[in-house]
Amino acid sequence: MKSILIIGLGRFGSYTARKLFEQGHEVLGVDQQAEMVERAMGYLSGGQIGDSTDPEFLQSLGVRNFDVCIVAIGDDFKSSLVTTTLLKEMGVGHVVALASEDVHEFLLKRMGADDIIYPHKQLGEWAAVRFGSDHVTDFFRIDDDTAVYEMEVPARWIGRTIGELDIRRRYGISIIGVRRSMETYGSGQNKSRTEVMILPELMLKEKMTLLVLGDDASIKKCFK
């Protein structure tokens, strides 16, 4: 369990707080507006009303005692930068900040944010990859060059085994999981089961998707 401070309880902050609370973490939520704190109290360990750009208020929260501080006030450019700067000056070990545009992301990095969440940019890239291809069903970036792609099994691979294809040696990428699509009996609904113990003798079939890890260039080369 971690102790986490979330500053800003708008849509992003409150949703993040809810998910962290459901995972069993201790979550303190902070917002300038009393109604935002009250609305979120059902999934907070505690709530405070106050201005995060006020150093005395931040100090009163004991910010150095938190494992992670999340600055979720991306819609207020100035407050986001000031809060991030103060947290780092106060010795907070891990500050995560929400960015709303490119210059905001750049300045947050300069202010010392350890991690930056830029939803519009990240979701934009995901949408471009997902809907710009006929064969990618999901996508998760690891770093600037490497990602996990969920891909449909190419028609030329159906009926062949993982070992026979020898993808890792030929292309420098790894199949780290296989997802099988299954129809729930009598319901007409499809569910999936993911297998991560991938053996060389596994034969690829229709209604499978592959979880593939590698750099973008190698994956594009392999899957055309």
Confidence of residue 160 (pLDDT cuts 50, 70, 90): very high
Token couple for 48: 């405070």
How far is the C-alpha of 142 from the C-alpha of 131, rounded, in Å?
A: 19
DSSP one-letter string for 49-96: ES-TT-HHHHHHTTGGG-SEEEE--TT-HHHHHHHHHHHHHTT-S-EE
* Mean pLDDT to the nearest integer, 130-142: 87
Under CATH, what is the fold of the domain 3-117?
A: Rossmann fold (3.40.50)
- The 10 Å Cβ neighbour count of residue 78 is 9
Summarize the chain as % helix, strand, coil (round to 5). Answer: 40, 30, 35
CATH 3.40.50.720 residue spans of the chain: 3-117
* Mean pLDDT to the nearest integer, 200-219: 90
Confidence of residue 220 (pLDDT cuts 50, 70, 90): confident
Confidence check: pLDDT of 24 > 70: yes
The amino acid sitting at 75 is D
How far is the C-alpha of 130 from the C-alpha of 149, rounded, in Å?
A: 9
pLDDT number for residue 194: 87
Confidence check: pLDDT of 182 > 70: no
pLDDT number for residue 172: 92
* Mean pLDDT to the nearest integer, 163-167: 90
CB 190 within 8 A of CB 183: yes
CB 102 within 8 A of CB 71: no
Q: What is the pLDDT of residues 188-197, one digit of tens each?
A: 556 778 888 8
pLDDT number for residue 190: 60
Q: What is the pLDDT of residues 74-104, one digit of tens each?
A: 888 999 999 999 999 999 999 999 999 999 9
Share of the chain above pLDDT 70, in %: 96
- Into which CATH architecture does domain 123-223 fall? 2-Layer Sandwich (3.30)
Confidence check: pLDDT of 181 > 90: no
Confidence of residue 186 (pLDDT cuts 50, 70, 90): very low
CATH 3.30.70.1450 residue spans of the chain: 123-223
pLDDT number for residue 178: 92
